[in-house]
Amino acid sequence: MLIAIDGPAASGKGTLARRLARHFNVPHLDTGLLYRATAAGVIDKGYRLEDGAQAASIARGLALVDFDEERLRSREMGEAASVVAAIPEVREALIEAQRRFAARPGGAVLDGRDIGTVICPEAPVKIFVTASPETRAQRRALELAGRGEKVDFAAVLEDIKKRDARDAGRSAAPLRAAADAVTLDTTLLDVEAAFAAALRIVQEKAAPTHG
Ligand code: DC
């Protein structure tokens, strides 16, 4: 069971991916963490975020385990990740590790921006998770507040819109739904309802009924 989940920032794709992975008892890779960890490495070394050669070298050296999620999930790191993620060499450096993860014999769930389009176009189940920018900003503000960050809703909404524009507007693997992805709009859904809807999509794709 290989499931590819894509969508914009704070669409709920991470929560869905984790729930689906637990449900099907397969490993989950949050690929955003790879870009966040790359950005953190670039910042720690004092390089510029736009320095493609250095960022790609840091990306190549990443291990897929032991991320300092507390730090990586900050607002600052989301922004920085979106900048390094637009660099083609960085994306190239991270492709193989993601594909290896996706090729695990028992299956896997991966979530990101280009999983269905670039990393695993062969995945039998592709879900494009979306929600209105205002709903996503509300969720992100709650999450950041829960982690003790000071939040200003207008600034979070601004961030979300900026990140959408950068992630969808870049030329290297821009955020978009694969042609055969099913779109799941979670604007009006709580976590349970979104999970139930995702499960229906997976079941339909995995065992299509003909006729
Ligand atoms: O999903 P996230 O918010 O943790 O992702 C952080 C940034 O990383 C996001 O703004 C764009 C980038 N990203 C990407 O370009 N491709 C992915 N597969 C995952 C994340």
What's the CATH number where 153 sits? 3.40.50.300
- At 211 the pLDDT is 47
Q: Which residue CA neighbors atom 10 of ligand 1 most closely?
A: 82
173 within a domain of the structure (yes/no): yes
Q: Is the CB of 195 under 6 A from ligand 1?
A: no
- At 171 the pLDDT is 93
- At 207 the pLDDT is 75
pLDDT digits (tens, 9 = 90+) for 75-125: 889 999 999 999 999 999 999 999 999 999 999 999 999 999 999 999 999
Residue range of the domain that includes 167: 2-202
83 neighbors 162 (Cβ within 8 angstroms): no
208 within a domain of the structure (yes/no): no
136 within a domain of the structure (yes/no): yes
Instruction: Report how many domains make up the chain.
Output: 1
Q: Is the CB of 36 under 6 A from ligand 1?
A: yes
194 within a domain of the structure (yes/no): yes
Per-residue pLDDT 10s for the chain (211 aa) are 999 999 999 999 999 999 999 999 999 999 999 999 999 999 999 999 999 999 999 999 998 777 888 899 888 899 999 999 999 999 999 999 999 999 999 999 999 999 999 999 999 999 999 999 999 999 999 988 998 888 899 999 999 999 999 999 999 999 999 999 999 999 999 999 999 999 999 999 887 665 4
Dist. CA 159–CA 153, nearest whole Å: 10
24 within a domain of the structure (yes/no): yes
209 within a domain of the structure (yes/no): no
Q: Is the CB of 182 under 6 A from ligand 1?
A: no
107 within a domain of the structure (yes/no): yes
Q: Is the CB of 101 under 6 A from ligand 1?
A: no
